[in-house]
Structure 1
Amino acid sequence: MGKKREREEAAAHYGGDRMDEDSSDDEDFDMVNVDFEWFNFDAEIDFHGVKSLLRQLFDVDATHFDISSLADLILSQNTIGSTVKVDGKETDAYAFLTALNLREHSQKPAIATLSRYLAGKAGTNDALAPVIPPLLDGSNGSAQVGLVLSERLINMPTEISPPMFRMLIDEIEAAVEDKEPYEFSHYLVLSKIYREVEPEAELRTEERRGKKQKPDAAAVWHFHPEDEVLAKHAVAHGAYTYSNENNGSAESKRAFQEMGIKSQGYLILIEAAKWKGAVEAVEQYLKPQ
């Protein structure tokens, strides 16, 4: 295995702001410096942390998937992707990033279920139509889709993201040199957005569920700011509605909708030839000031 894959950790220092509220002078604040460390996945340590972040990534639709099996699969390819931690290797991850070969693992039930789900969701938005052929391309086709899964705890600084993407590029290049199955034709980024909605109007859309809908004109925000940059390099990108959106099981979901905010899944399909340029653009966009 090449030396460039033998990464135990990489450290960077970013300042996270924590306001020290003072009624006499609201400009007073304390700076809290936090050291973030990057590690390879470790099956003995990272299962519960990665599983928790996967649930957060899939939002209310997490119940559709075997999250434990997905976490095990991510940990099994420990040199592809990384975790970010604060208090050393033995602690839970605050963030992670990886890429899974959907064809290589197509016979695994967890991946088969996820691929069908994503293809189905892409079919509900015309903007995502180009996503469907690579996802459904069987063993006789030419597409090799790398599913990029990335999530982090809320309020983590965005600056942690570019090093993770850069290391992923290096790790995949090394894996290809080692004849491992990571020579992708496309990268499919699974993420989330949230948009403004009118709560009353949202109630009337339930009868249209499952049909193709035009995205509304309401303001859209990305949970991951880097997605806005990645989308500019994409073959296709767009949102989809969660299957469990209106099942009433999530208190936080109802609270969001009562405030006129709706979260949705989001897909970004990028050709492999444009992936490195997309990551370089992310690095420039999120460069620490």
Structure 2
Amino acid sequence: FFDPHAGDFHAIKRLLQNTFGDDSEDFDLSQLADLCLAQPHGTTVKMDDDPGSDPYAFMTLISLKDHRESSAVVGQITEYLERKAPQGGVAKAEFAQVLRGDAALVVSERIVNMPPQIVPPMLRLLVDELGDRRFDHYIVLAPMYREIEALDEDDDDNEDGSGRQRKRAKVELDAYVHAEDEFVEEFAKIKFDYRFSRMKRVAEARNSFGDMGIAPSRRCLVVERAKFPGLLARLNEVLAP
């Protein structure tokens, strides 16, 4: 485990692309990477302490309140999340209040073959670095895979009489990409799913997955301050080496 440093800029920027998926083009990720590196907290995982080696995992917290006025990219993130919240009802109003308050975005990214067991020690290091600093809410953007089955139907009712086939998709399964997020959900005060605005591929077509397509999305999980210690204890319990 190592502190982030300037030489990690490009690797951290690449990892941040995973946080926002297909919509990463909507954000100034260079500015966000600089912000992450400028903070006095954050942890990386590397195979060795060579300054030239890239981190395999990265974790930090970004205060939406502290950087709201000074960082354009934090403004971009806040506006984006507000747009993605469910329209109307109590949930949207409650989430908007969270975004306006003392909330932190939890950034936790790693390469595919890194196990979830690295998460508890990274979180402990992060909490230690923060000292007495606590946030009212913690926002996790959990990557999801939605498994979709494509079904062919003969559309005999087309006005042009062509009888062309159309496809409709049936959602079969939602699965977390990061195993730890399943346990984060247990402590979430607010939860909602959203799709990318820039979805680069419609996953209903049959492909290398056989009859199933995989549609990436995100699940926003909000954990309030009082539940955060319980979440840390739960992750330590279920992800113990």
Q: Determine whether 1:234 maps to 2:188.
A: yes
Map of 2:121 onto structure 1: 163
Map of 2:155 onto structure 1: none
CA distance in 2 between counterparts of 1:81 and 1:125 reads: 36
Residue 190 of structure 1: how far off its partner (Å): 1.8
Map of 2:160 onto structure 1: none
Residue 86 of structure 1: how far off its partner (Å): 0.8
Map of 2:34 onto structure 1: 72
Percent identical pairs in the alignment equals 36
CA gap of 1:226–1:116, structure 2 versus 1, over 3 A, is same
Gaps of 5+ in 2: 153-165
Alpha-carbon RMSD across the aligned residues, in angstroms, is: 2.7
Gaps of 5+ in 1: 1-37, 138-142, 177-181, 206-215
CA distance in 2 between counterparts of 1:267 and 1:127 reads: 16
Residue 128 of structure 1: how far off its partner (Å): 5.3
TM-score norm. by structure 2 comes to 0.83
Q: Determine whether 1:134 maps to 2:98.
A: yes
Given that residues 131 and 236 in structure 1 are in contact (C-alpha distance below 8 angstroms), is that contact kept between their aligned partners in structure 2? yes
Residue 89 of structure 1: how far off its partner (Å): 4.2
CA gap of 1:63–1:114, structure 2 versus 1, over 3 A, is same
Q: Determine whether 1:59 maps to 2:12.
A: no
Map of 1:98 onto structure 2: 60
Q: Determine whether 1:277 maps to 2:240.
A: no
1:115 to 78, 83, 88: 78
Map of 2:44 onto structure 1: 83
Given that residues 199 and 257 in structure 1 are in contact (C-alpha distance below 8 angstroms), is that contact kept between their aligned partners in structure 2? no
Residue 88 of structure 1: how far off its partner (Å): 2.1
Given that residues 138 and 224 in structure 2 are in contact (C-alpha distance below 8 angstroms), is that contact kept between their aligned partners in structure 1? yes
145-154 or 124-133, larger mean C-alpha shift: 124-133
Aligned residue identity for 1:269: V
Map of 1:222 onto structure 2: 176
CA gap of 1:164–1:203, structure 2 versus 1, over 3 A, is farther
Aligned residue identity for 1:159: Q
CA distance in 1 between counterparts of 2:90 and 2:56 reads: 32
- Counterpart secondary structure, 2:172: coil
Aligned residue identity for 2:180: E
Aligned residue identity for 1:46: D
Given that residues 123 and 132 in structure 1 are in contact (C-alpha distance below 8 angstroms), is that contact kept between their aligned partners in structure 2? no
Residue 248 of structure 1: how far off its partner (Å): 4.6
- Counterpart secondary structure, 1:134: helix
Map of 1:213 onto structure 2: none
Aligned residue identity for 1:118: L
Map of 2:3 onto structure 1: 40
**How many residues are paired up?**
222
CA distance in 2 between counterparts of 1:85 and 1:192 reads: 23
